Amino acid sequence: MTRRVLLIASDRVGSSMAGPGIRYTALARVLAEHAEVTLVAPFPVDTEIEGVRVIHIPTRNHRQLLRVALDHDDVITQRLPLGTALRLARSSIRVIADLYAPTLIENAVALVRGEPGKGFERTAQANAAALRVALATADAFICGNERQRDFVLGALATSGRIDAAAYETDATLRNLVAVVPFGTPPDPPTVGAPVVKGVVPGIDPGDALIVWPGGVWDWTDAVTAIRAIDALSQRQPNVRLYFPGLRSPNESPTPPAAVARARSLAHELGLVGTTVFFEEGWTPTTTHGAVLAEADVAICAAFDDVETHFAFRSRLIDCIWARLPIATTSGDSLSDVVAEHGLGRVVAPGDHLALAAAVEELLDERTAEDTRRNLAAVAPSLLWERSAEPLLALLNSPPSASARPVRAALAALEYVWFRAAKRVASKRAAGL
């Protein structure tokens, strides 16, 4: 009998997507070759995925989501509504929690570096509660790299999930926590009709195009990238730094505070429209590859903090797919890959002069040629078909030993606590 697998995306799926949508679309395509796959999207969907049933269920429609989930054998999701998680914990359906994005740490970053009074604290509390419920109720977990796996195993150990029964089932615990990294499509993007050079006013065909290949989030350091290009432009006036999208496609009304900081610095230095260029919206998925193919170097920067240590920068995977030389800061697992395989240059976080020198070196024609050759050699190991292999193995393996009634009870306590805390906070805010 064909397995019925449900993937629940946490972000927009369609012609314009950020990381979560890209991940779930790609995994759905791969799994559809082995199972009957349904993909749930929280926003209306404007594209089709061959072999995959795609349905739109608004985030708050928990009842409809539960009805769909109960009609499947496996559920793969970043986050479930608390009531849905409790109900599935009492069923025979295997729930696989996808913890590739360390939201607990990202929320802490947003609280520290974001603007106060934007509701971040309540969001962080809700996400923390959801994570604890997932740790208590999910049957298995996937993440983006081995560092994240260590993090998840530690959390599961403190939750009482790693015991003799789990170890006896599989001494590696890979049937409990598997690494499913971001992957790439099979073919790299090709240079076709220009989409940036000679198209964006102020960026000429002969300019050196430096692209920031993803969103500007509070845990990324666009300010250092801007300072680096400002320094480099004193030696190479034709360098152009291009941000292809500032507003996430998930319809969030408030952009990250990092966007305002990047804008402010670029205006302060007099670079906007001459050396630094911002696209207001979000680059469509079909155009994203064309932008990377047209660029000369990608620049990525982040901070020296715990988020960086556990991060899996999907933007770097995109650059490898596009054979685009990478200038990045150190600290995350993929920057180690860049350094080890000669895919670009890696410098210390916050050092804008070193980052400028890295970009300048990669603009050298011979260096760029060697780097692109290295990128082409590494890219086949990152195909989505290979990235999804541990997930397929997980779906085909016996469930890890677990005590569902005990875990459901723990989740119920968590649910009651969270609801009570919200009521108390609401009353305090109202002055009652």
For 334-387, how does the pLDDT look when each residue is reduced to its tens digit (9 = 90+)?
999 999 999 999 999 999 999 999 999 999 999 999 999 999 999 999 999 999
Coil, strand or helix at 383: strand
Task: Give the total number of structural domains in the chain.
Answer: 2
Same domain, 11 and 137: yes
Q: Examine residue 242 and state whether it is found in any structural domain, yes or no.
A: yes
Confidence at residue 348, expressed as pLDDT on a 0 to 100 scale? 98
Same domain, 231 and 132: no
Same domain, 358 and 228: yes
pTM of the model: 0.88
Q: Examine residue 243 and state whether it is found in any structural domain, yes or no.
A: yes
Q: What distance lies between CA 249 and its chain's CA centroid?
A: 13
Q: What is the mean pLDDT of residues 123-142?
A: 81
Same domain, 318 and 372: yes
| Gap between the Cα atoms of 127 and 4, Å rounded | 28
Confidence at residue 227, expressed as pLDDT on a 0 to 100 scale? 98
Same domain, 26 and 104: yes
Confidence at residue 113, expressed as pLDDT on a 0 to 100 scale? 62
Smallest CA-to-CA distance from 319 within 345, 349, 297, 352 is with 297
Same domain, 119 and 225: no
The model's pLDDT over 252-281, given as tens digits with 9 standing for 90+, comes to 656 788 899 999 999 999 999 999 999 887
Same domain, 56 and 173: yes
Same domain, 336 and 400: no
Same domain, 95 and 136: yes
Same domain, 391 and 374: no
- What is the phi/psi pair of residue 110, to 5°? -65, -35
Q: What distance lies between CA 81 and its chain's CA centroid?
A: 20
* Residue 95 contacts residue 75 (beta carbons within 8 Å): yes
Confidence at residue 412, expressed as pLDDT on a 0 to 100 scale? 58
**Looking at the predicted structure, is the pLDDT value of residue 233 above 80?**
yes
Q: Examine residue 118 and state whether it is found in any structural domain, yes or no.
A: yes
* CATH code (residue 51): 3.40.50.2000
Query: Two tokens at 403?
Result: 């005590």
Confidence at residue 425, expressed as pLDDT on a 0 to 100 scale? 61
| Gap between the Cα atoms of 92 and 155, Å rounded | 24
**Looking at the predicted structure, is the pLDDT value of residue 406 above 60?**
no
Confidence at residue 112, expressed as pLDDT on a 0 to 100 scale? 60
Quote the domain boundaries for residue 370.
208-382
Same domain, 15 and 160: yes
**Looking at the predicted structure, is the pLDDT value of residue 403 above 50?**
no
